[in-house]
Amino acid sequence: MGAPLLQLTGVSRSYGKRTVLHPVDLSLDGGQCVALLGHNGSGKSTLLRIAAGRDKPTKGKVTFDGRPMTENDARVRARVAVVGDTVACYPDLTVRQHLQLVAVAHGVEGADAWIDHVLADRLLSEHAKSLPSGLSSGQLQSLLLASALVRPRDLLLLDEPEQRLDPDARRRLGDLIAAEAADGVGVLLVTHHAELARAVADRVLVLREGKLVADGTPDEVLSDDAADTTWQTGVAGAAR
């Protein structure tokens, strides 16, 4: 067997004397979705940024397809798509132009047809000519997701992609993540939404104050009640 698509080994992160992420091991294969849950400030985004090569762990190592993960590596930039937790757009580019920019930068052939498809998929067709200032917050979030979909990817890192989405859009996000995994893409999903994690994840990890307190299947970590918050206290079956 080859190396996992993404592997974190003994990864921790401290700021000065304060440790915000205690040593974590995580491995993710293509076609697999791992969801990461936890309270505000529990270290989820820190872990995701490190997984993306955007931040360096204080200790431990991260590999992508068996080689060190660094954001500047051309191979990483070509194969790893990241949707962060903040909206970052060019105020003077339309929705379509944003997607064209990403597609051209990644050498996508037949980009216009593919962009039409992604626009329709994310319910943005009507807004193709809109500037970011003319979009709702949910539509802006859809644009961020669309920007990841118009480019090639083997690994998709999502930081609270359900933010600002209504229940219907959230369901379609779940369908999208499931389709990505079915296509062989590895997905690391940081989320506050246990229901979304249950719908799409093969494995669920829970962080509390920077420590991994649960790691198991959705059935092991999450209760049947979608609104249940058992994962927040880490008392479910797979709790550590």
Ligand X SMILES: Nc1ncnc2c1ncn2[C@@H]1O[C@H](COP(=O)(O)OP(=O)(O)OP(=O)(O)O)[C@@H](O)[C@H]1O
Shortest gap between Cβ of 40 and ligand X (angstroms)? 3
If the CB atoms of residues 38 and 151 are measured against ligand X, the closer one turns out to be 38
Distance CA 197, CA 34 (A): 8
Which residue lies nearer to ligand X by CB, 154 or 159?
159
The token pair that represents 157 in the structure block: 């890192």
Rounded to a whole number of angstroms, the distance between the first and last alpha carbons of the chain is 28
Q: Which residues pair with 14 in a beta bridge?
A: 19
- Residue 163 near ligand X by CB under 6 A: no
Tell me the closest approach of the beta carbon of residue 131 to ligand X, in angstroms.
28
Q: How many positions of this chain bind ligand X (CB under 6 A)?
A: 10
User: What's the CA gap between 148 and 93, in Å, rounded?
Assistant: 17
Closest distance of CB 43 from ligand X, Å: 4
Enumerate residues 36-55 that contact ligand X by CB under 6 A. 38, 40-46
3-state secondary structure 193-209: CHHHHHHHCCEEEEEEC
Annotate each residue in 5-34 with x if it binds ligand X (CB under 6 A) or - if it does not, as one string. ----------x----x--------------
| Closest distance of CB 46 from ligand X, Å | 3
**Which is it for the CA torsion 33, 226, 165, 54, positive or negative?**
negative
Binding site for ligand X (CB under 6 A): 15, 20, 38, 40-46
